[in-house]
Amino acid sequence: MGHEVISNTSLSPTVHRLVVSAPRIAVVRQPGQFVIVRLGPGAERIPLTIVGSDAAAGTIELVIQAVGKSTADLVAVAAGSYIDDVAGPLGQPTDLITKGTAVCLAGGVGAAVMYPIARRLSEIGVELITVVGARSSASILFEDEFRSFGDLIVCTDDGSAGRAGFVTDALADLIAAQTVDVVYAAGPVPMMRAASAVTSPRDIRTIVSLNPIMVDGTGMCGGCRVTVAGAMRFACVDGPEFDAHSVDFDELADRLTTYGAAERIAVDHVCRSAGQPVTGRHGAG
């Protein structure tokens, strides 16, 4: 058993798009939801946004940035191979506005999280401005798609495309120039924190998609806990989207560094042993 990888295409030097067979999830998933994926025996369970789906074909789309061992292993899965476990859809669907103006703010692979939200907002027919940021022109994701959904502002750190600088600077200019009813933001924690700081003085509703480390994704372990408005919430079941102005970003950023040393060991280990197969019970899918 398992989930066939129908296709695997490279979108940028480190980001791949995988179309994966998951018929049930393809039918019921909604923007904002994610899956927990476990490649095979010995692999980690990692959360990935459901970027899109084709209910008729029974497939979902994942966009994965190789940042460590587990994501590197996943982007290396060839079409026709299988992923053992895909559980979902998990998390709460995005709270979408039905009229007014929305800004979708995406930094780096946050574009994968923002894509299904922007797409649905354009289907609903709200005024939509998407701001995507990337290191350079080569790593901008979904540029054509976002453009087809509404207005698009591209920002690059090196100025190789669009405007040079941070997406949050573009956001500040936007809200100074026009009325914005809601901002949806996904990306690195510093970017989400900065976005929150930009919109908070004007009290513009801002929803961020948090990315804490997860294990089960069902509310059982508490590892994904985040502090929102002073209260503990589990991102996998209560989120992953929360009101940005209430999120404790410092705690989130800090907890994401928990396994920094272990992550380096995991990557080194692969380099040394070229990934010996892990056998035994947990080989059972």
Partner 1 sequence: MTTEPLTKRQRMAIGRQEMPARDAGERSGTFNEVNLGFTEQLALLEAQRCLACARPVCVEGCPVSVDIPSFVASIEAGDLAAAARALFGDNALPAVTGRVCPQEHQCEAVCVRGRKGAPVAIGHLERFVADWARGHPHDDVVTSEPSGRRVAIIGAGPGGLTAAGELARRGHDVTIYEALHLPGGVLSYGIPEFRLPNEIVDNEVDRLQALGVHIECNVVIGRTYTLDELRKSFDALFISVGAGLPMFLDIPGEGFKGVYTANEYLTRVNLMRAYAFPEADTPVLRGERVVVIGGGNVAIDAVRTARRLGARQAMIVYRRSRPEMPARVEEVHHAEQEGVTFEFQVNPVAIEGDADRWVTGLRVIATELGEPDESGRRAPRPIAGSERVIPCDAVVVAVGTRANPLLTSSSPDLALTNRGYLAADERGMTNLPGVFAGGDIVRGSATVILAMADGKRVADSIDSYLSGTPVELTAP
Ligand X SMILES: Cc1cc2nc3c(=O)[nH]c(=O)nc-3n(C[C@H](O)[C@H](O)[C@H](O)COP(=O)(O)OP(=O)(O)OC[C@H]3O[C@@H](n4cnc5c(N)ncnc54)[C@H](O)[C@@H]3O)c2cc1C
Site string for ligand FES, 209-248 (x = CB under 6 A): -----xxxx-xxxxxx---------x-x------------
Is residue 253 involved in binding ligand X (CB under 6 A)? no
β-strands 231-234, 225-228 pairing: antiparallel
Q: How far apart are CA 228 and CA 247, in angstroms?
A: 4
CB-nearer residue toward partner 1: 32 or 133:
32
CB-nearer residue toward ligand FES: 97 or 215:
215
By C-alpha distance, which of 68, 127, 108 is closest to 259?
68
Q: What minimum distance in Å lies between the beta carbon of 81 and partner 1?
A: 18
> 231: exposed, middle or buried (C-beta count within 10 Å: 0-12, 13-18, 19+)?
exposed
Q: What minimum distance in Å lies between the beta carbon of 40 and ligand X?
A: 14
Applying CB under 6 A, among 53, 70, 94, 156 the residue interacting with ligand X is 70
**H or E element, residue 37:** strand 34-38
Backbone angles phi, psi at 242, to 5 degrees: -140, 165
β-strands 34-38, 101-107 pairing: unpaired
152 contact, one of partner 1, ligand X, ligand FES, none, CB 5-8 Å limit per kind: none
**H or E element, residue 278:** none
Q: In angstroms, how far is CA 68 from the centroid of its own chain? A: 15
Q: How far apart are CA 162 and CA 160, in angstroms?
A: 7
Q: What minimum distance in Å lies between the beta carbon of 167 and partner 1?
A: 27
Q: What residue ranges bind ligand X (CB under 6 A)?
A: 34, 44, 46-49, 63-65, 67-71, 109, 112-113, 211-214, 240, 256-257, 263, 266
Q: What residue ranges bind partner 1 (CB under 8 A)?
A: 24-25, 28, 38, 42-45, 69-70, 73, 84-90, 215-216, 218-223, 225, 227, 232, 237, 248, 251, 254-255, 257-259, 262-263, 265-266, 268-269, 276, 278, 281-282, 284-285
